[in-house]
């Protein structure tokens, strides 16, 4: 562990000059997510296969300028700032005398906390009469259709740009979104934001955490170590995506409210039959351990052991043309549920995939209206973003879109 002091930072787009603060920076150790710092630069954007951090701050932004150059410069500035913050550095000076501090300062003294920032572009960026990018819209970046039971609230949906900031420290994550919001001003403004905690696991070396319903979440995920699964299901390729998206991924976000009052009053057996897994062990019904295989054919007394409407049956690849998604969601709490008086919590469901047309959309069609979980949840927010590939320090995220 050591202290670093940087007196001057010159970065693309003019972000961050004249830094005069000490910032505790822990040494990086090898491997994605293994150390305290996760490199911002690389072939893929960080924050997708990065072992899920403890906290998220998600922001969807509307671009208020109609200038393509403004959009490009915003991505330049954001990329430079994200790279600094991933190293545990402020985005500018805190000691500015009469002028407002460039960096807001709340993360001073905190480690990088494996901060990652993942940027995405929504379908509206490619709309007519926006930036002239109609011809660059990727086929997989569809407008999500409506699904049975949707209870979407307009203000919690969509966005021209999506920014997923994750970190193992909640203040570091907040500082990330706070800084990017300030850097965006006059070009983009937040449309909806949500803070989350209690991650879904996406790595074999992570213990599987529990969601707000008390069940382990992430057991049968596409795992960070599964390189074959990642190229098959997560990374965009030429076969379905334009050149500027190759090596990127499509992110679908759903704000799913959990009706916790009713769930908490549901018997354990019924809770377990809803998911098709045991609550404490996470094992599939009919099995012993969390990692035991799911036997969808097992029957007892003529009835399926994993009920016909159980969440893990309907979400299983066997029911979805062999398709899978990388889930990277977080729990959230957002006030009090009226009129029941229970906590208004839920899942900020975030998933990454190569083509939502054959992954999220059909899987959600299969679940919506049929999944036993539907009685206990409500989809209130929805968005989709194309997350370009990663970048080298000489470039910025999304650069090839502007070639």
Q: Could you list the residues that contact ligand HEM (CB under 6 A)?
A: 211, 213, 215-221, 254, 256, 258, 275, 277, 294, 311-312, 315-317, 325, 347, 349, 360, 363-364, 367, 373, 377
Q: Which is nearer to ligand HEM, 319 or 402 (CB)?
A: 319
Q: Which is nearer to ligand HEM, 254 or 400 (CB)?
A: 254
Closest among 256, 235, 210, 246 to 326, alpha carbons compared: 235
Q: Which is nearer to ligand HEM, 92 or 345 (CB)?
A: 345
Residue 372 backbone dihedrals phi, psi, to 5 degrees: -60, -25
At its nearest, how many Å lie between ligand HEM and the CB of residue 150? Answer: 11
Q: How far is CA 101 from CA 106, 147, 316, in A?
A: 11, 46, 50
At its nearest, how many Å lie between ligand HEM and the CB of residue 399? Answer: 31
At its nearest, how many Å lie between ligand HEM and the CB of residue 235? Answer: 18
Q: Which is nearer to ligand HEM, 49 or 325 (CB)?
A: 325
Q: Which is nearer to ligand HEM, 123 or 218 (CB)?
A: 218
Complete DSSP assignment for 241-300: S-GGGTT-EEEEEEEEEE-HHHHHTS-HHHHHHHHTB-TTT-PBTT-SSTTSPP-TT-EE
Give me the half-sphere count of Cα atoms (radius 13 Å) on the Cβ side of residue 114: 22
At its nearest, how many Å lie between ligand HEM and the CB of residue 160? Answer: 23
Structure tokens at 231: 């190229």
At its nearest, how many Å lie between ligand HEM and the CB of residue 155? Answer: 20
Query: Residue 403 and residue 219: Cα distance in Å, rounded?
Result: 41
Q: Which is nearer to ligand HEM, 17 or 318 (CB)?
A: 318
The residues near 154 (Cβ < 8 Å, ≥ 6 apart) are none
The DSSP letter of residue 51 is: P
At its nearest, how many Å lie between ligand HEM and the CB of residue 210? Answer: 8
Query: Residue 118 and residue 112: Cα distance in Å, rounded?
Result: 16
The residues near 305 (Cβ < 8 Å, ≥ 6 apart) are 285, 286, 295, 298, 299
């Amino acid at each position: 562990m050591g202290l670093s002091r940087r007196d001057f930072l010159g970065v693309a787009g003019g972000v961050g000059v004249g830094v005069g603060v000490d910032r505790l920076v822990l040494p990086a150790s090898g491997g994605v997510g293994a150390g305290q710092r996760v490199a911002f630069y690389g072939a893929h954007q960080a924050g997708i296969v990065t072992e899920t951090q403890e906290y998220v701050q998600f922001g969807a932004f509307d671009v208020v300028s109609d200038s393509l150059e403004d959009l490009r410069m915003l991505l330049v500035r954001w990329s430079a700032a994200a790279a600094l913050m991933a190293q545990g550095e402020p985005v500018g000076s805190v000691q500015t005398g009469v002028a407002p501090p460039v960096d807001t300062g709340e993360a001073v003294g905190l480690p990088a906390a494996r901060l990652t920032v993942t940027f995405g572009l929504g379908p509206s960026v490619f709309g007519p009469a926006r930036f002239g990018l109609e011809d660059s819209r990727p086929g997989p970046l569809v407008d999500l259709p409506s699904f049975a039971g949707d209870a979407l609230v307009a203000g919690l949906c969509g966005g021209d740009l999506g920014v997923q900031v994750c970190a193992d420290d909640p203040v570091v994550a907040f500082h990330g979104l706070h800084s990017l919001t300030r850097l965006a001003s006059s070009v983009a403004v937040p449309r909806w934001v949500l803070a989350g905690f209690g991650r879904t696991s996406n790595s074999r070396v992570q213990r599987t955490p529990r969601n707000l319903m008390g069940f382990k979440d992430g057991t049968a995920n596409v795992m960070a170590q599964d390189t074959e699964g990642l190229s098959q299901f997560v990374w965009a390729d030429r076969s379905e995506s334009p050149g500027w998206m190759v090596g990127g991924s499509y992110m679908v976000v759903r704000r799913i409210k959990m009706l916790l009052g009713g769930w908490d009053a549901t018997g354990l057996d019924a809770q377990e039959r809803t998911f098709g897994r045991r609550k404490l062990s996470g094992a599939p019904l009919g099995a012993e351990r969390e990692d035991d295989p799911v036997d969808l054919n097992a029957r007892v007394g003529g009835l399926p052991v994993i009920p016909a409407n159980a969440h893990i049956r309907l979400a299983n690849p066997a029911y979805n043309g062999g398709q899978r998604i990388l889930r990277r969601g977080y729990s959230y709490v957002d006030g009090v549920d009226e009129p029941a008086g229970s906590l208004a919590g839920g899942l900020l469901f975030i998933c990454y995939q190569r083509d939502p047309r054959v992954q999220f959309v059909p899987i959600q069609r299969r679940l919506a209206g049929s999944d036993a979980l539907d009685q206990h949840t409500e989809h209130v927010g929805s968005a989709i973003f194309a997350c370009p590939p990663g970048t080298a320090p000489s470039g910025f995220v999304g650069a090839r879109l502007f070639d």
